[in-house]
Amino acid sequence: MYYEHPLIKRESVQRRDYQVELARQASLTSTLLVLPTGLGKTVVAAMVIAHVLHAKGGKVLFLAPTRPLVEQHYRSLQGMIEGKRIGMMTGEVDPLERELTFLENDIVVSTPQVVSNDLRQGRMDLRDVRLLIFDEAHRAVGNYAYVDVAKAYLDHDGLVLGMTASPGSDKAKIEEVCRNLNIKAIEVRTERDPDVAKYVQAISMDWVEVELPPEMKALAQSIRSLYEQYLRELVDLQVVDKDRVTNKRYLLEMAETWQARLRAGERNRGLYKALSAQAKAVKVEHALDLVETQGMSALRAYLQRLKEEAAMEDGSKAAREIVSSERFQRICEEAEAVKAEHPKLSRVMGVVARQLADSPSSRVLVFTHYRDTCDLVASKLGNVEGARVAKLVGQSDRNGERGLRQREQVGVLQRFRDGELNVLVATSVGEEGLDVASTDLVVFYEPVPSEIRTIQRRGRTGRSRAGRVVILITKGTRDEAYYYSSLNKERAMRRRLETLKEELGDGGRPKERGQLTLDGF
């Protein structure tokens, strides 16, 4: 059964009752839509677009954070909407051409930065926009461009639709997103809701624990000793809470506080010493993270970068002090002597090899946090029989290696969809919103402490068919802490969303709204 509407192409959208209901509510009032990846946020958006343009005319502006996402939504809307002109704008389009694109089209899909810039330069105004859509709406905090565009739209009192798979577990942040986007209602669906469950494919979750070999444990202990030396320096300066000093976020927050005091004119040698000790601690803590959760190749590459930073004329004082220490010299010698690689590497190869052997038509997505690890894993997986491997990384060039420009990212994803590639090794650029085809297996090389990123990674599988998620965890390391942190945050997010739904009324809608009488639903 298909959804029918004068502006929706015939037999292009299957009718799912929960999507129709969500679209109906979002057409009534400015709404934050929270829907797991793979359950059709873009389809709901297309239904709302069709209703608004049919009922009110005017324009629709659809914003997404990156060019690949913009191109993806542009293609999706072209496949669903008829009778309306659809245009696309990104930073690669000349400003005058963007101006024409906005004027000539009924629906414009764009990155938010160019809209913010064009509004500031007077090349665009939002008076004819009847609906403004924010994809990955959880980004609408701080000084992100979504906030500027939403503020400009306030004057026109139009409809807003924010969409996200995971707004986060922090109630204050969810409220900030709603406030910044002028959201009046929240609509939430999960895989467990009765009207959604029948459309959800089963996802099996496997946690694979590995143990560091003895020589890597010994190396980790050497690095930890140097790390603890710098933490003691901070404690001795009496500028930190000794019970919280091992918390990296706390150290970063304290450094911001000290820098703000110095910028305000405070003359305090102790603060300069504290900043130096903090910088050294954070750099060495990163080395500890690499040896415990990533592997020797990533660690050696990082130690080399520290040496290069120390040797540079404008290199940091912290890097010079670390590199000149005897402990660091011993750590480098130990690192060179370790012949083993991280056991995760053989595990990920085994998991992928078995998947492709059991189901040669499979699509596999492996997530890694660091670019160095991504390079190594992609290289090793290239040796697995039947694996056609590519990397999906961000745009920035690092350590002499060129990143992937957004057009190249789009090309890699298309090759993956077409089956030319069957294994994709991705950094965080693969997490957010991108349609990476129907993926049978998702591997987390490491857990991530963010519930948003965990949900996004997991949501890459179980779309059109059953999927599997494998999470690799190194025993006795921060991997375990990150895993449980993410789990607890996800549970907290669900509780907070349920609370907000109740505060707004049944189903996340304002109370006593009245009878729903919308044409087209």
Q: With a cut of 50, say whether residue 428 has pLDDT above it.
A: yes
Q: With a cut of 70, say whether residue 512 has pLDDT above it.
A: no
How much is the pLDDT for 381? 96
% residues pLDDT > 70 (the chain): 92
As a whole number of angstroms, the distance between CA 279 and CA 137 comes to: 33
Span 203-218, pLDDT tens digits:
788 999 999 999 999 9
As a whole number of angstroms, the distance between CA 135 and CA 363 comes to: 26
Identify the structural domains of the chain with CATH numbers, from first to last.
17-198 (3.40.50.300), 203-211+342-487 (3.40.50.300), 214-337 (1.20.1320.20)
How much is the pLDDT for 325? 94
What integer is the mean pLDDT of 156-175? 87
Band (pLDDT 50/70/90 cuts) for residue 170 is confident
Q: With a cut of 90, say whether residue 498 has pLDDT above it.
A: no
Contact 297, 290 (CB under 8 A): no
What integer is the mean pLDDT of 434-449? 82
Q: Which residue has the tokens 């991530």?
A: 448
* Distant-in-sequence, close-in-space partners of 243: CB < 8 Å, separation ≥ 6: none
H or E stretch at 504: helix 478-504
Q: With a cut of 90, say whether residue 177 has pLDDT above it.
A: yes
Band (pLDDT 50/70/90 cuts) for residue 406 is confident
Q: With a cut of 70, say whether residue 288 has pLDDT above it.
A: yes
How much is the pLDDT for 155? 86
Band (pLDDT 50/70/90 cuts) for residue 457 is confident
Q: Which residue has the tokens 């002499």?
A: 400
Band (pLDDT 50/70/90 cuts) for residue 507 is very low
DSSP 317-384: HHHHHHHHSHHHHHHHHHHHH-----HHHHHHHHHHHHHHHH-TT--EEEE-SSHHHHHHHHHHHTTS
Q: In the β-sheet with 389-392, what is the strand arrangement from edge to edge?
A: 203-210, 467-474, 441-444, 364-367, 423-426, 389-392
* Distant-in-sequence, close-in-space partners of 514: CB < 8 Å, separation ≥ 6: none
What integer is the mean pLDDT of 155-179? 88
Distances in Å between the Cα of 53 and the Cα atoms of 42, 46, 125 are 16, 11, 18
In 3D, which of 246, 214, 226 has the Cα closest to residue 331?
Answer: 226
Distances in Å between the Cα of 512 and the Cα atoms of 358, 438, 509, 516 are 55, 41, 9, 11
Contact 424, 364 (CB under 8 A): yes
Band (pLDDT 50/70/90 cuts) for residue 291 is very high
Which stretch of 112-116, 135-139, 314-318 has the lowest confidence by average pLDDT?
314-318
% residues pLDDT > 90 (the chain): 65
Band (pLDDT 50/70/90 cuts) for residue 275 is very high
388 class by beta-carbon count within 10 Å (0-12 exposed, 13-18 middle, 19+ buried): middle
Residue 99 backbone class (left: φ over 0; alpha: ψ -120 to 50; beta: rest): alpha
H or E stretch at 388: none
Band (pLDDT 50/70/90 cuts) for residue 39 is confident
What integer is the mean pLDDT of 476-499? 85
Which stretch of 108-117, 124-133, 170-179, 398-407 has the lowest confidence by average pLDDT?
398-407
How much is the pLDDT for 433? 55
More confident residue, 1 or 462: 1
How much is the pLDDT for 193? 80
As a whole number of angstroms, the distance between CA 24 and CA 30 comes to: 11
Span 47-96, pLDDT tens digits:
999 999 999 999 999 999 988 889 889 999 999 999 999 999 998 889 99
Span 356-375, pLDDT tens digits:
999 999 999 999 999 889 99
As a whole number of angstroms, the distance between CA 395 and CA 274 comes to: 34
Q: With a cut of 50, say whether residue 514 has pLDDT above it.
A: no
SS (H, E, C) 170-205: CHHHHHHHHHHHCCCEEEECCCCCHHHHCCCCCEEE
